[in-house]
Structure 1
Amino acid sequence: MRDFRDAKAMAQTLRESLTTKAVTISHSESLELVSRMLGVADWNTLSALLHAERRDPIAPAARLKATTALYPAIPLRDLVPFPNATYPMFVGREKTMRALNQAFEGGREVVVAIQREAAVDDPRFSDVYEIGILAQLLELETLGDGTLRVLTRGLRRVALRSFTAESAAYQAEVAEVSEGAARDARDLIRRIYQRFQDYTAAHGILVPDIWMFFDQTRDPGQIADTVATRMKLPIRDKYELLATLDPVTRLERIEALLDLSQRPISANYAATKRQALDYANRRRHQYATLEHFLLALMEDPDASAVMRACDADLGKLRQSLVQYLDSELQHTVIDSESAEPTAAFKRVDERASLHAQEVGNAAVTGANALIALFAETRSPAARLLAEHGVSRGRAIKAIARGAG
């Protein structure tokens, strides 16, 4: 087995085989079965193991250019910058501030190095990763406490040959690196585009111009860096994306990290999704909508706890939902007992998994689905929630206080 996609193919084959024997299971259930067959507790663990195994050693030295250059340097503890992105940085270490002053007196270029361990106060070459970026300094401001706020823009990747504190200021000798020839990745870019839309919505990440950027460029390296900049990841995972020089391989790593957002679902949430479909089937509606979903979430112990913590009157909310379903969806009544979930229904279900990852839930719950629903701002379900005082911000605060 090469990677997580082979495991997914096994799960699909298993599901299709069972279907021929009149045994129907969901895609997530088939993934869990494949995981157990391979001796792993669950799909999330198997996917993580396979992702870890397929990581290529980060060894960009073969692509280094022979010439080197010396620049003032900034060591960062808790940030991994990428090319073509602008970052504000707050600097308090004396050697870093001196390096910044040297850079502003010179060509306004500085090497940004990422520390392996944030706790190291005075890093040396062995304390920083070998790939950093060359950045341009845009603004420098001295704050009231004596520290500096500097605005930088990443230019390109570089490989560190040395990192020292000469003249009481950090300096780095670096070599240019090559990212290789461009390769076609249209299908991969399309998948990233679709998955990242759900990711940003689930995490509340505002990216007003990124979708226009996707339309205007097909450069896999630029797209990978733009997405990686906005992903919420541990420093090590972000650094591995920075140090992956081949653009298509970098995009593949991003896809794998997005795939790792999957979580098993709780028993209550599984029952809630079945209840939503049942509400649509009872009314012989052709589609199961977000309004059916919300009506079921009102009976979900986790989601309803969050709504009550927002001071919602669940009785009045239920009444509004039932009235909408029985009057506004009459045109969807057909002679069928099997409603099809709408695209919005499926999006909310997928975003719920991403939100569970963000807050560290071991399994997806109705509370995660409630948060995911707010991204569908044009839906009557989101409008009814707002009318009854349930907003995304209030719901997140309620969850932080322990509701749901």
Structure 2
Amino acid sequence: MPSLPVLPLKDTVVYPQLVSALSVGRPKSLAAVNRALEGSREILTVAQRTPDEEVPGLEDLYPIGSVATINRVEKHDKGAQIIVLGERRVRLLGVAEDSDQLVGEFEELPLLDMGQAGEDKPKVEALLQENSNLSLRIATTMDRENGPQIYQQMVGSIPNPISRMYRIASLASSATLDKEQEALEADTPLELMEILHGVLNMEMQVTELRQQIAEQAGQEIEQQQREHVLRQQKRAIEQALGEAHDDDDIGELKALLDEAKLPEAVQLEVDRELKRLGRMSANAADYQVARAYLELIAELPWHQQTEDQLDLSHASKVLDEDHYGLEDVKERILESLAVMQLNSDAKAPILCLVGPPGVGKTSLGQSIARSMGRKFERLSLGGLHDEAELRGHRRTYIGAMPGRILQGVRRSGVTNPILMLDEIDKLGRDFRGDPSAALMEILDPAQNKEFRDNYLNLPYDLSKVLFITTANTLEGIPRPLLDRMEVLELSGYSDLEKHAIARQYLIPRQQAEAGLSQAQLEISDDALANMIRRYTREAGVRELERVIGRLARKRARQVVDNPDDKATTALVDADGLGQLLGPEKFKSDPGRSSLAAGVAAGLAWTEAGGDVLYVEATLTQKDEKVTLTGHLGQVMQESARAARSYLWSVADKLGIDKDAIENCGVHIHVPAGAVPKDGPSAGVTMATALYSAYTGTAIRDDVAMTGELTLTGLVLPVGGIKEKVLAAHRARLHHVILPKDNEADLAKLPAAVRGELQTTLVSNLDEVLAAAVPK
């Protein structure tokens, strides 16, 4: 006996040869849909006698249903919307629960066909014609202008008479679920026609009654509006006699719009809206909508702009005052200012500042605005899913507003502000649209000269706006959008750079916020070094500033509690740091003091900067082959297998017993198992850990490495070198092994870091092992 997953229907019937849209929300129904999608995509649809029953049994379902094919599924938070095509009628024989869904056994029934009419054919054809005429009359009564077209589109275009009657049954608003089910259960064309004839007669009566009620209501509304119409006529007569006066509010609004000196195309639309507003009653629903629209146009800057300060020495001074280091980024900004000084028509670049949190991306945008003398507005895009948030909502929607871009320009009051689009890598995408697609038009200088916000619906020039975007990583940014931007990388800071930043910027700022003088809070170099190493572990300085702020507040409490204390200085040293800040968060550097055989230190890149990643390998029983743990991604798993295969191929050369590889499995683990890890740069680290496990030779405990390993032993270049080397420096790992092709990246490191690290550049695994294995 054939069986399929059952989809119980609460208020509808699926007919053969017709497409139906169904909402699915119950867990067992969703499970049935998923099971159908895994198989033939066929599902058994049966209407429920008792719609309140969440898990219906055989007695709760009608005996006749339809087998349907699932054509499309759109999932959402509350369930799913599915599109199905009815295939054939069936009789339900039994229903059983199978784990989390219902499964039904059935037998197929013949499809109705006009050829089955037999002796009743004349009557069937007459009823068919009568039912079609009734349907057309109903559609025309409901909508005199579009009724015939709607009927033709929904019903008349179906060639099969039986399918046409099924469609009428599904569309008739007066048809109960029982009547719809009767139409499905009809065994002859005559029975189906008679059922539909009764339904359509009732539908015609209901439609005519509704039409009468609507006409009566319309007459009552006209009576209520009579006074309003007479007042409008009176106003028109007064205007014709020259005795009317402009409303004060409208007059003020018109004056503001005149001051704005609008472009010609905008002025034409404004004049039309003003005339429309003047004809409206202040109590009309659209009055406030039209007024808000005109107020937006009046408030938008159309010609106002700030004069750029393009003095390079001034800009350089401002950038240096606000930020330590970042020489490459500052140089690029000064280059842009120089070009703008020589060519006033030059298009400003769209900069994308990429780096871990806390390195100064947002504050750098503020400094650029200060150096150029421009207004600055920040727009956070993190978690934004709706395209209308950027482009605005159409005025037909209740509560419609302009998009964030236009709102930012309005707040700035000028046509050439600096707009910072923060966290552009965290844009979302769902059924409401793709915000990144809207950004492509906004950021493209060739298109944004006539940008059309959905709310404003008028061309607005964004070409004078300087856009700056920020991101933690480039991975979340679509490639077409990334092509429109110039990427400037802001890497993490070394301990020495953090020390300088704290002295020049963070400590004075937190002293001022806590109301302390310089004499009331002094931090020794040792204390500051401990704060950097023991209380924070980050690529930027955001957490460091919080720690300094906490220290300043503790000191402020001491000053207030002891107002008679005449001490002029309050030095915080390394010994007193724990009393004020509590226990150290990080008891030791992430580097291990000694490594056992099978352990190697690798370097990883994360959105928060670089990190030291230890790879542990141990031999296991032969049956396990390669076991990988530690929440590793697909690329890291493949790197581990490639490393094992390469070591087997050169076992004799490296002094590894091949039997140790063939007769033993290996277990590779990367600690911090709750954190997902992936990428090719752990290849050499995994190979080194495996070599150590197979030979029993421990790797040097002061060495860290990174690089992709090929199946022939070559070491390929990887990204994030600066962040990785800084992570090794923080961990006091003084010897770093890098791919030879990454040699150019070493120039980006601070000179002090390069001086304290020994760097070995390698091109194959033999060179890696020569540097990592003790002599």
Quickly name the TM-score band, shorter chain normalised: 0.3 to 0.5
Q: TM-score, normalised by structure 2?
A: 0.26
Considering Cα pairs closer than 8 Å and 6+ residues apart, tell me whether 1 or 2 has the greater RCO. 1
Q: TM-score, normalised by structure 1?
A: 0.47
